[in-house]
A and B are shown apart, each in its own frame.
Chain A
Amino acid sequence: MRPLTEEETRVMFEKIAKYIGENLQLLVDRPDGTYCFRLHNDRVYYVSEKIMKLAANISGDKLVSLGTCFGKFTKTHKFRLHVTALDYLAPYAKYKVWIKPGAEQSFLYGNHVLKSGLGRITENTSQYQGVVVYSMADIPLGFGVAAKSTQDCRKVDPMAIVVFHQADVGEYVRHEETLT
C-alpha cells in the first residue's frame, strides 16, 4: 500500500472529473475526516486516515481491500473506474441519465442504453460526456458515456445508442471475481 504518485493522481482525477467535475474537491476535503487515496496491487482505494493506519499493520500480500476501491490502473497506466466507485459518483454527478423500467434489465446486463430506453437526460449534456445512469426511482445503476448530446438524443431514432455502458451494478453479480 502506498500513496499515489503525482502522475497517477493526475490521471485518476482527470477520469473522475469527467463524471463529477469540480465536485471532486468534495471527495478530498471532507468535513468529517481526512480521506486519502492509496494504491495497492494496482488498485486505488479511497479510505479515511484512521482506517489506513490500521491497514498499515497488515502485510501487503495479506491485505485484500480497504475502504472503497475506486478502480485500477491498467498495465499501460490508464485508469479504469469500477462500479464500486458509484457510491461516490452518484451524489456528485453533474450529468445524469434516467432510464425506463423496461430498459433497466438490459443495462444491468451490460448493454448500452438505446434511445427507446431513455427516460430523462440532463439538459446540455455534451457528447462523450461522462454520465451516471439512474433508474426512474432514482436508484443509481451505473455510469457511462453519453453517445449523443441532449439535442441529438431528441432527434435520433429509437434504436440508436445514446449512452455507452461503462459500469453497472449488475457487475457485482456478474463479475464478482474481478472486483478484487
Chain B
Amino acid sequence: MGRKLDPTKKEKRGPGRKARKQKGAETELARFLPAVSDENSKRLSSRARKRAAKRRLGSAEAPKTNKSPEAKPLPGKLPKGIFAGAVQTVGKKGPQSLFNAAQGKKRPAPSSDEEEEEEDSEEDDVVNHGDLWGSEDDADMVDDYGADSNSEDEEEGEELLPIERAAQKQKVREAAAGVQWSEEETEDEEEVTPESGPSKEEEADGGLQINVDEEPFVLPPAGEMEQDAQTPDLQRVHKRIQDIVGILRDFGAQREEGRSRSEYLNRLKKDLATYYSYGDFLLGKLMDLFPLSELVEFLEANEVPRPITLRTNTLKTRRRDVAQALINRGVNLDPLGKWSKTGLVVYDSSVPIGATPEYLAGHYMLQGASSMLPVMALAPQEHERILDMCCAPGGKTSYMAQLMKNTGVILANDANAERLKSVVGNLHRLGVTNTVISHYDGRQFPKVVGGFDRVLLDAPCSGTGVISKDPAVKTNKDEKDILRCAHLQKELLLSAIDSVNATSKTGGYLVYCTCSIMVEENEWVVDYALKKRNVRLVPTGLDFGQEGFTRFRERRFHPSLHNARRFYPHTHNMDGFFIAKFKKFSNSVPQSQTGNSETATPTNVDLPQVIPKSENSSQPAKKAKGAAKTKQQLQKQQRPKKASFQKPNGTSKGADSELSTIPSVRKTQASSRFQDSSQPAGKAEGIRESKVTGKLKQRSPKLQSSKKVAFLKQNAPPKGTDTETPAVLSPSKTQATLKPKDHHHPLGRAKGVEKQQLPEQPFKKAAFQNQNDTPKGPQPPTVSPISSSHPPPAKRKKSQSRGNGQLLLS
C-alpha cells in the first residue's frame, strides 16, 4: 500500500462495535478542546454555566497548585501561557500541543525571562480550563470519566477530570523539563522568538488557528526522537523532511545556533526512514551517495514503477510493424529514445502486453530500458563466440542474438535452474537458434570452456537500483548482504575475465553490469578486477548516463573508472544500473606479490608474459624463459647498472610523476600496436619492463604491481614495432642462454644490445636506465620465447616520448 495509508490510524466509522470503541485519551480529549476554545461558548449547559460562575467567584482562593496568584486575566493570559508552553515544548507533548493549538489565540513573543511566569500562569489556566472541561464532561459524557461531582467537592474551584489532573501533572513535569531545555538553549529561544513574533502577530490578525507549522523550524531536541518513533504522523514527518532539507541547503543562514549539522542529518535520516519505509543501513548508504535534493528525488522515484518498455525482435519483424500491430490492439506507445532503434515505451494498454499474439509469436520482448544498455555497450559482432554468464530470464541473451543475426554462438549460462526455464522459453519464442544454454555456477567458467570473444556478466546484486520493482529491498539489505554480493561479484568477474580471449581478432571485451547503485558492488569490484587482471576500462559507447566514481568517501579508484556509466531512476527514468566495459589485453594472469614462479604460458606468442615479482632476485628465473639475445648482450652493461638498479627501490619518485596519466596513454598505444610483430615482443618486453617499473614506482605499492603489469603489456606493442626495423637483430642471435642479470636489468640489456648491435640508441638506454633505477616490487614481465630483435632507436624514442619521455631522459 502507499505510504500514506496507515491502517492503525484509520478511523472506524459506522454503527459497528468498533466505531464505538474509545480511541484513546488524546482523541477523546480532542472532542472537548474546540469547546474550550470559546470562553463564551453557548455549549455550556445550565449547570456548567453555574459552575463556571462559581469558579470565577472562587478563583481568588486559587487552587493549591497555583504558584502565583495570577489567575484573573484568564482569557488574556491563558493564550500567552499556553503558547509559551507550546513554543517551549513544541512537538514534545502531542496532546498538549493539540490543546495549545486549539486555543487559537494570538501568541505573544515570550522571552526567556517570562518563562517562569508563563508556566505558572499556564498551569493556572489549565486548572481553570479544566473546570470548563469538567463541566463539559458532566454534560456530555456519563461514563468513564468518573463522577465529576466528586471531584468538584474534593477540590474547591477545581473540577478536574482524572485525565485532566494527569495532564496537569504532565504539564508540570514538562514545564520543568522545558525549563531545563530552555536554560541550555536560551539562545535558541531568543533567536526563535524574535522571528516568531512577527509571524504570530500576523496570525493574530487573521484570528485563525495557529499552526505549529507556522513557526520557523526548530529542530526537536534529542529526547523527542524516540517519542516520535512511537507516533509517526506522516504529514508532520514529511513537512519536517522538507524543512530540514531547506535548512541544510542554506545551513549557514538558517541553522539554529548550537545544533550541529549532524543533528539535523540524523533527524532527517530518521524521518526519511519513517516516511519512505527504509531500513537505517540502506538509507545511510543512500545519504552518502546522493546530495540531499537528489536523495529525496531518488526516494520518490523508487515509489513509482518505471514505464514498461519492450524491445522489438528484429529476427522476426521490424519496430514499425510491431508498433502498428500493437496500436491496432489498443496500446499507447512511443519509440524509446534516439539511443535505441528497437525499443518502445508503453504508456498504457487495454490488452495485456505480455499476452498479445504478437508477443507469443516472438515479435517483441518485455525488457527494461536499462537492460538494453549493457548489450549495446558490448556490441557483439556476427560470428563471434559470446558468453552470457548470468543470463536469466534471457532478455540480454536474445538481444545479443538478434544483433548477431543468429550467427556465431552464444553460451547462455545461469546458476538458477528455475530461472533457466524462462530462458529456454524466451529464446525459443523469439526464434534464437545460435544459443547453448547451460546450468553452471559462473565461477566455474574458464575451466568448463573458455576463449570467448566477448563476455557479458550481469552479476547478481543487491538490487538497490530496482527498488521500485521490489520494495522489500528497502529493509532486508544490510552490510553483510552487500559485502556478500560484492564478494560473489568479484569472483564472477575474475572468472569472466579469464574466459575472455584477449587475442580475439574482433573481440576481447567484457561488460560487467549490475542493477545496483552501491559503490561496493560497482566501482569497487571493477577496481579490484583492474588490479588483479590484465584488463583496462574502455568507454562503453553510451553517450548518456552519469560517469562512474573515481573516488568515493575514503576510497580511491582507478582513474579510468570514469568510463563506466551509472544510471538512476530519478534522472534517467530507468532502473538503477551500472555498466563497465573492459578490454582484456593479455591472456596471462598476473601473479600476486608473493608468487615467484612463472605463470601460464601465453596463448599467443605475440603476448609478452607478464609476471610481476616481488623480489628482483627472482627476475632472473623469469627472464631465463624469454628472449635472451638482448639479455646476453646487455649483461655487460647490466653489471654497472645493478647497483643503481637496486638502490632506489622504494625511494625514487623521479620519473614517475606521470604515472597516472601514462597508463591511459600507454594502454591506448599498446592496444593499437598489440598485434604487431612477434619478433620484437621479447625484447620489447625487457625494455618495457624497465620503463614500466620506473614509472610505476611512484604509485602506491599495491597498485604498482597491477599497473606495472599493465604498463608492461602496453609497452610491448610499441616496442614490438620498433624491433621490426633493425634487420641486424634477429631472434636467433639473442637466444643464447639467459643470464640472471639480464632480467634484472632490462634496461641494461637494451643498452647492451644497442652497444653491440645498434649504436643508435644511446639516448634510449639512458632513458631505460632511469627506469631501471626505480623498479620495485612487481617483476617486469619475462621476455617471450620468441625473442625480439632489438627495437630500433627511432621507435623506442617515440614510445618514450609518448609516456614519460623527458623524465626518462633526464
What 0/1 pattern do residues 352 to 393 of B give for CB contact below 8 A with A? 001101101111000000000000000000000100000000
B355: A residues at CB distance < 8 A: 173
Query: Which candidate, A2-10, A18-26, A55-63, A122-130, is the interface stretch facing chain B?
Result: A55-63
Query: Which candidate, B130-138, B433-441, B578-586, B767-775, is the interface stretch facing chain A?
Result: B433-441
A47: B residues at CB distance < 8 A: 433
CB distance from A13 to the nearest CB of B (A): 20
What 0/1 pattern do residues 59 to 86 of A give for CB contact below 8 A with B? 1001111111100000000000000100
Q: Is A137 at the interface (CB under 8 A from chain B)?
A: yes
What 0/1 pattern do residues 421 to 440 of B give for CB contact below 8 A with A? 11111011101011111111
Q: From the candidates B357, B429, B435, name the one contacting A139 in the complex (CB within 8 A).
A: B357
Q: Is B325 at the interface (CB under 8 A from chain A)?
A: yes
Q: Is A36 at the interface (CB under 8 A from chain B)?
A: no
Q: Is B411 at the interface (CB under 8 A from chain A)?
A: yes
Q: Are A55 and B428 within 8 A (Cβ)?
A: no
Q: From the candidates A48, A50, A62, A172, name the one contacting B439 in the complex (CB within 8 A).
A: A62
Closest to A175 in B: B425
What 0/1 pattern do residues 118 to 147 of B give for CB contact below 8 A with A? 000000000000000000000000000000
Q: From the candidates A59, A64, A137, A177, name the one contacting B437 in the complex (CB within 8 A).
A: A64
13 residue pairs A–B, Cβ–Cβ below 8 Å:
A47-B433, A51-B409, A57-B449, A58-B436, A58-B440, A63-B437, A64-B424, A66-B435, A66-B436, A67-B436, A139-B361, A139-B363, A179-B424
Q: Is A159 at the interface (CB under 8 A from chain B)?
A: no
B325: A residues at CB distance < 8 A: 137
A141: B residues at CB distance < 8 A: 357, 360-361
B361: A residues at CB distance < 8 A: 139-141, 169
Instruction: Say what secondary structure dominates the interface of chain A.
Output: mixed
7 residue pairs, one from A and one from B, having the closest CB atoms:
A169-B360, A84-B428, A65-B437, A57-B449, A64-B437, A180-B424, A55-B436
A135: B residues at CB distance < 8 A: 357
Q: From the candidates A55, A139, A170, A173, name the one contacting B358 in the complex (CB within 8 A).
A: A139
B222: A residues at CB distance < 8 A: none
A108: B residues at CB distance < 8 A: 357, 360
CB distance from A44 to the nearest CB of B (A): 13
B434: A residues at CB distance < 8 A: 48, 51, 67
| CB-contacts of B323-359 with A (<8 A) | 325, 354-355, 357-358
CB distance from B577 to the nearest CB of A (A): 26
Closest to B321 in A: A137
Q: Is B753 at the interface (CB under 8 A from chain A)?
A: no
- Are A172 and B428 also in contact (CB < 8 A) when A51-B434, A66-B436, A179-B421 are? yes
Q: Are B428 and A63 within 8 A (Cβ)?
A: no
Q: What 12 additional pairs, Cβ within 8 angstroms, besides A64-B424, A141-B361, A173-B354?
A: A47-B433, A51-B434, A54-B411, A63-B437, A64-B423, A64-B438, A65-B424, A65-B437, A66-B436, A137-B325, A169-B360, A180-B425
B427: A residues at CB distance < 8 A: 65
Q: Are B428 and A69 within 8 A (Cβ)?
A: yes
Q: Is B253 at the interface (CB under 8 A from chain A)?
A: no
A62: B residues at CB distance < 8 A: 438-440, 448
Q: Is A87 at the interface (CB under 8 A from chain B)?
A: yes
Closest to A64 in B: B437
A63: B residues at CB distance < 8 A: 436-439
Q: Are B360 and A58 within 8 A (Cβ)?
A: no
Docked Cα-Cα span, A48 to B325, in Å, equals: 33
Q: From the candidates A54, A69, A170, name the one contacting B436 in the complex (CB within 8 A).
A: A54
Docked Cα-Cα span, A169 to B429, in Å, equals: 8
Closest to B411 in A: A54
A84: B residues at CB distance < 8 A: 428
Q: Is B420 at the interface (CB under 8 A from chain A)?
A: yes
Docked Cα-Cα span, A64 to B422, in Å, equals: 12
CB distance from A6 to the nearest CB of B (A): 25
Q: Are A54 and B358 within 8 A (Cβ)?
A: no
- Are A172 and B429 also in contact (CB < 8 A) when A54-B385, A64-B439, A65-B424 are? yes
Docked Cα-Cα span, A169 to B316, in Å, equals: 15
CB distance from A71 to the nearest CB of B (A): 12
B385: A residues at CB distance < 8 A: 54
Q: Are A176 and B439 within 8 A (Cβ)?
A: no
Docked Cα-Cα span, A104 to B325, in Å, equals: 15
Docked Cα-Cα span, A88 to B364, in Å, equals: 19
CB distance from A135 to the nearest CB of B (A): 6
Docked Cα-Cα span, A135 to B438, in Å, equals: 34
CB distance from A96 to the nearest CB of B (A): 15
B436: A residues at CB distance < 8 A: 51, 54-55, 58, 63, 65-67
Q: From the candidates B357, B422, B449, name the one contacting A104 in the complex (CB within 8 A).
A: B357
Closest to A52 in B: B436
CB distance from A7 to the nearest CB of B (A): 26
B354: A residues at CB distance < 8 A: 173
Docked Cα-Cα span, A135 to B363, in Å, equals: 14
A65: B residues at CB distance < 8 A: 424, 427, 435-437
CB distance from B373 to the nearest CB of A (A): 26
What 0/1 pattern do residues 142 to 180 of A give for CB contact below 8 A with B? 000000000000000000000000000110110011011
Docked Cα-Cα span, A23 to B560, in Å, equals: 56
Docked Cα-Cα span, A172 to B438, in Å, equals: 20
A50: B residues at CB distance < 8 A: 409
- Are A54 and B433 also in contact (CB < 8 A) when A64-B439, A137-B325, A173-B360 are? no
Q: From the candidates A54, A68, A139, name the one contacting B409 in the complex (CB within 8 A).
A: A54
Docked Cα-Cα span, A93 to B436, in Å, equals: 27
CB distance from B303 to the nearest CB of A (A): 29
CB distance from A65 to the nearest CB of B (A): 4
Docked Cα-Cα span, A30 to B43, in Å, equals: 97
Docked Cα-Cα span, A56 to B423, in Å, equals: 20
Q: Are A68 and B433 within 8 A (Cβ)?
A: yes
B362: A residues at CB distance < 8 A: 169
Docked Cα-Cα span, A58 to B332, in Å, equals: 44
| CB-contacts of B391-449 with A (<8 A) | 409, 411, 420-425, 427-429, 431, 433-440, 448-449
A176: B residues at CB distance < 8 A: 421-422, 425
Docked Cα-Cα span, A69 to B432, in Å, equals: 11
Docked Cα-Cα span, A140 to B429, in Å, equals: 12
